[in-house]
Chain A
Amino acid sequence: MTTQFGFQFYNDDGADGTALAAEDTHISVSEGVVRLRIGVSQPLTGTVVKTSDGKIVKTSDGKIVRVV
């Protein structure tokens, strides 16, 4: 499940541009060049299983993939 989860606008004034606004904040401009960084995630879906030493994610096909 791919999710667009966050973004930030930057100036084009360096390799890492300076932020135009706080993360996840829309901006208002009159003109100009803008850099936009968008975050996307793709977490595995499955069942969280309680084990003796913590919790793990068990996918629908039975694989244990991640300790949470």
Chain B
Amino acid sequence: MANQFQLEYRVNAGAWTTLTGASGTALIDSAYIASSGTDTTAARLTAPADMTTGNFVAGYISDDTNPVAAIEIVDSYTEIEFCFELDDTLSTSDEVEFRLTDNGAVLDTYSITPKITMIASQILTGAPAISDAPATAGTLITASSVLQALSGVASIATATGTPGSLTANQARVLAGVVSISSSLATAGTVKSDSTIPQTLSGSPSVCESPSTAGSLTANQARILTGTASISEATATAGTVAIQASIVLTGTPSVSQSPATPGSLTAGTPQSLSGVAAISEAPATAGAYTTGIIARAPPSLAAAEATAGSVVLGIVLTGVVSEADAPAAAGSFFSGLVLDRPIIKPGVTKLTPAYGVTKIT
């Protein structure tokens, strides 16, 4: 006797309903399934007790036809597959169960009934990949109070044509070797609204070597340790905007040798120790503006084709060199105190011929 299998569903143990192509939980067209339910199944499930795949009879795969065509499975088994979309009006914790009938007539036995439980958020554990190399990245939004952790080798919007965005209301931990918006044509954005500091440990890279640098915006202190790089060697340097103290240790580099240097703007005192370079040897020197203190031994716009300018309001100590041997000298203005040997006290100005002219 032939059977014509039909997929039915029910929500929260309600009445069973046949899936159709209408709205709600319904059959939906798949790019991988032929129309009219003509694709056939090969055995993928574990054969039932007392049977082997030798007892398998091909069933049907459907994305638009329910019930599928009749088949004979006497002394055998089959597998029927449907492609469907869940009703977008379902609520969190709703349970949707599924069963096959013989064109509406219930089967003799249901030893197991498939079930989908609706949830509001996704929990990713182990070594998850989010939007790994899709053509267009999606968006992961979580309002959960549960800490989300990406461990192992995690990738967020890696190498996508157009990166997506990751919005978080809680602390996020990136451990191991992590990359955010690495080598993208157009860099994405990492934004945090949380009051919890975000930490990049190990060898982190933020917006490394994209053709157009993105931006990193932070409302809390950020710590870059080890070999840290911000917008390193990009054609056009990006911007790091900070509202709290930033510490660069080891051999830090800020906008090193780009064709056009970017800018570093700070509202509070910033200290660069060790071998620090600011806009070192660009074709066109940038400007260094401070309202506080610059200590020795600073080198300002050394050996430039065109020198930049330094404007200081307070103190220069140690061995100071300003506009050292440029083709065209720059300008140096000091309004207050110079406490080490200098050519003339008071306000001085270097001429283009490397001489010194006292301005009275």
Establish whether residues A2 and B107, one from each chain, have CB atoms under 8 Å apart when the complex forms.
yes
- Write the chain B residue with the least CB distance to A1: B108
How many chain B residues have a CB neighbour from A under 8 Å?
49
Residue-wise, chain A 30-41 has the 8 Å CB interface mask toward B (1 for contact) of: 111111111111
Establish whether residues B32 and A29, one from each chain, have CB atoms under 8 Å apart when the complex forms.
no
Establish whether residues B32 and A28, one from each chain, have CB atoms under 8 Å apart when the complex forms.
no
Establish whether residues A4 and B113, one from each chain, have CB atoms under 8 Å apart when the complex forms.
yes
How many chain A residues have a CB neighbour from B under 8 Å?
40
Q: Does B339 contact A (CB under 8 A)?
A: no
Chain B residues whose CB sits within 8 angstroms of the CB of A10 once the complex forms: 81
Chain B residues whose CB sits within 8 angstroms of the CB of A12 once the complex forms: 30-32, 83
Establish whether residues A40 and B73, one from each chain, have CB atoms under 8 Å apart when the complex forms.
yes
Chain A residues whose CB sits within 8 angstroms of the CB of B31 once the complex forms: 12
Choose one: A7, A26, A34, A41; the contact of B76 (CB below 8 Å): A41
Chain B residues whose CB sits within 8 angstroms of the CB of A24 once the complex forms: 112
Given A28-B116, A36-B81, 9 extra CB contacts under 8 A: A1-B109, A2-B73, A2-B109, A4-B112, A6-B48, A26-B117, A32-B86, A38-B79, A41-B77
16 contacting pairs across A/B (C-beta < 8 A): A2-B107, A5-B112, A8-B44, A14-B32, A29-B119, A32-B86, A33-B85, A34-B83, A34-B85, A35-B83, A37-B79, A37-B81, A38-B81, A38-B100, A40-B5, A43-B50
Could you tell me which A residues sit within 8 Å of B by CB distance? Answer: 1-10, 12-17, 23-24, 26-44, 65-66, 68
